[in-house]
Structure 1
Amino acid sequence: MKTITTIEECRKILKEEIKTFPDWPEKGVNFKDVQSILFNPELALVTSHYLQELLPKKDSNSFLFNKILCFDARGFLFGFDLAKASNTPMILARKHGKLPGEVVTQTFEKEYGLDEIQVQAGLINPGDKVLIHDDLLATGGTAGAAAEIILKCGAEIAGFNFIMDLSFLPGRKVLQKYVHDSKIQALLKF
């Protein structure tokens, strides 16, 4: 792989490398798989770097969020890098029954069925500004559910950060009810 020195070069390589699996997990869904990024350590490093460049910042040394919420499981992969780079706590959003203790729950509709996410109670508090990270923005169901949990906890949604935005689906429009479009960042769009 050639040396990647700009965000545009990164986007070009990602579009070439990310594999699409038609009709998975069910007919009509074209699944975009991040495995090809993870299988190439150099590409994973560059992807992480440019995702960090998209983080909302006050200035070069401070960020416009104090916590980052990431989704099970693919959101964890780069979300942990983002949390470390911004020196902020990372909150795990997981499927029903995967977290111990008291939880905050939100049900939502995905592109292929009904689902539910949870976060441990007490991790998001009034006054927090929480950034939401996941690998993919499609219909906006998962990210919208996280936004609802943040609002239930009395906190503010600082924005959204994704590797991919499937711009032909309504996800961005769904998230615009929570934040201005400029706060919805994706490394690349399909």
Structure 2
Amino acid sequence: MRKVGLLGGTFDPPHIGHLLVAEEVFQALGLDEVWFVPSHDPPHKEASNTNVEHRVEMTQLAIKSNPHFSVSAIEMERSGISYTYDTVNELIQQFEDTVFYFIIGGDQVEYLPKWHRIDELLELVTFVGVKRRGHELKTPYPIEKVDIPMFEVSSTLVRDRFKFGGSTKYLLPEGVESYIKEHNLYE
């Protein structure tokens, strides 16, 4: 059985923090791969203003130097709200020889009781929680915990830096930074 980590998010834009989390979980759990899953329309926050094609392309640029990372466009191929239950259920049907681990930050660990069909989802996937400042990994649900080096960056911070002319050096992979500038995103 293959072991695959799933890292979902809007990736608007993908940044070094996303890559760090994916690599640390990959190593800690001995995964075969980590798939980045850009969400189409996330249920827990406002939809992204950046179109889907840009977010997928930026994510592909962000991961291109890592052979055990890939992008799954499964949620892009569906319209409507991107519920994790639907995504995982579809992946399990497509990849019967695979065990999936869904990687989430501490903020989402606390939010798990509100997730769509959480009890059924827990039968399909193992959740992996990573710490985020200001959040504990406390939940009534079973999760694997992975300690990662703290790196405080967010997509909101990156977008604000572009909007107000600040530096994004060392916050983004160079290819993503170039792509954003080339397409005048976040101005």
Shorter-chain TM-score category? 0.3 to 0.5
Larger RCO (CA under 8 A, 6+ residues apart): 2
Q: Structure 2 length normalisation: TM-score?
A: 0.35
Structure whose residues are more often strand by fraction: 1
Structure whose residues are more often helix by fraction: 2
Q: Structure 1 length normalisation: TM-score?
A: 0.34
